[in-house]
Structure 1
């Protein structure tokens, strides 16, 4: 099985990975803005959008994305997609030229020694809600992602439109929650030796910006950009600034001829 990947534009290859419950379409406005200067590849993760399900586990998701990439690329991963991007960099470094995790953490769940992720109870409540009220659970989760942003109404419309257009498979949502709950890259970040731009929303309630900055500092070539007044979806609420900063990073990470 192969994943659905929509490609457009010309220039350096940039792969975009969406968050839990959505699809590659969430990146479409950004891709339209950037397609004159980069080749944008919008991936539907397993069981999301137009991609088939059947893949279980973070490594299988990462391998499925990597197998659909023809050339080394900059990989941009939002939230859950950031974990997939990190797994790709560990497993398939020849496919990942640079990383840009967006509103993501190396460990997305809080622990006694890690206070920057989501509460375990929140993930478990989301899991229970999938079987009790599928659509309401997804909508409420999406609302959490943009609380505190000045453009929250627009962001919510964008997220909901993507959800309504291509609802994910329930099995894929379960597997995505498993990844969010289990993945932990804290001890392996120092081994990922590629340029990495970690992007944080200053008002993010799901991926605390201090945790994002910590992750960037663990990597040999990591840096952090904190987007003021943004929450969990800075590429939606601050699209123009996000596009400009991402383009600068992509150009700076291009190999020297």
Structure 2
């Protein structure tokens, strides 16, 4: 079973973190979400406290889909809402395409790069991040004890890394190193998202204007690929925006996961 937490009450909203991260990535927005949703936080296979991701000759997409579907069954989640960041956003879109969820809200979802050169850049970013995290472990407690150190260490991922607590930052660094085998397996199996999603499943795509991992031009490609979705701009936010603008991200997640019978609230669309 995937390591997970369930917090709050209301319509269930499953939150899926990005590649190399862990479920605690969502902690900055959980309190706001849990007032209106039952928030279900998961660690992906090979990440956080979940079991390893075991390649079995099948496409990574199929493995992750089956694991997610099994998790829904184990937890009694019947077509929950889902939201994800980066890889988690891609998983949310795949779940919507597979008709497993009631809505999908995504923050910089993976799968909208232009070509092999762009994908090579993404691979290089994570190679640099995991390599630097591995080398920095002996001195990480000292570096991450200061706000400037946290801002520098997480500058590729977020614009306000200094707002992370030292413990959260250190946990994220160790989590990235721990997830390296799964990260490499997932990136090796990467390919663009090109599946149709039923118009009956509300989809939201939000993108930070300062995303240095999945560059903001990809938001335009997502808009063209998913013309029926709501497309939202996150000003001054990076690739992992949950701490860059807590209120804005929480608002996007709540509105994106609004239950159809309650209606969906209009908000600014880029």
Between the aligned partners of 1:47 and 1:116, the Cα distance in structure 2 is 22
Secondary structure of 2:260's counterpart equals: coil
Q: Which residue of 2 aligns with 1:167?
A: 175
Q: Which residue of 2 aligns with 1:101?
A: 106
- Which ranges in structure 1 are unaligned for 5 or more consecutive residues? none
User: Any idea what the Cα deviations from partners look like across 1:204-253, whole Å, max 9, x if unmatched?
Assistant: 111122312321332253121111111112221101121122212222x5
1:104–1:243 Cα change, 3 Å: same
Tell me which moved more, 49-58 or 38-47: 49-58
Give the match for residue 153 of structure 1. 162
Let me know the Cα RMSD of the aligned residues: 3.2
Q: Where do 5+ consecutive residues of structure 2 fail to align?
A: 141-149, 264-270
Q: Distance in 2 between matches of 1:209 and 1:107?
A: 10
Residue 111 of structure 1: CA displacement?
2.5
Which of 114, 120, 124 aligns to 1:121? It is 124
Query: In 2, Cα distance between the equivalents of 1:74 and 1:108?
Result: 26
Given that residues 142 and 159 in structure 1 are in contact (C-alpha distance below 8 angstroms), is that contact kept between their aligned partners in structure 2?
no
User: Residues 240, 44 of structure 1: CA spacing in aligned structure 2 closer, same or farther, 3 A cutoff?
Assistant: same
- Paired with 2:120 and 2:112, the residues of 1 have a C-alpha distance of 7
Residue aligning to 1:133: 135
Distance 1:145 1:87 in 2: 23
Structure 2 CA distance for partners of 1:41 and 1:120, relative to 1, 3 Å: closer
SS of the aligned residue for 2:84 comes to strand
TM-aligned CA distance change 1:126 to 1:8, over 3 Å: closer
Q: TM-score, normalised by structure 2?
A: 0.76
User: What SS is found at the alignment partner of 1:160?
Assistant: helix
SS at match of 1:167: helix
Deviation at 1:178, TM superposition (A): 3.1
Q: State the alpha-carbon separation in 2 of the partners of residues 28 and 20 from structure 1.
A: 17
Mapped to 2, the partners of 1:231 and 1:156 lie a distance apart of 18
The answer on whether the counterparts of 2:12 and 2:40 sit within 8 Å (CA) in structure 1 is: yes
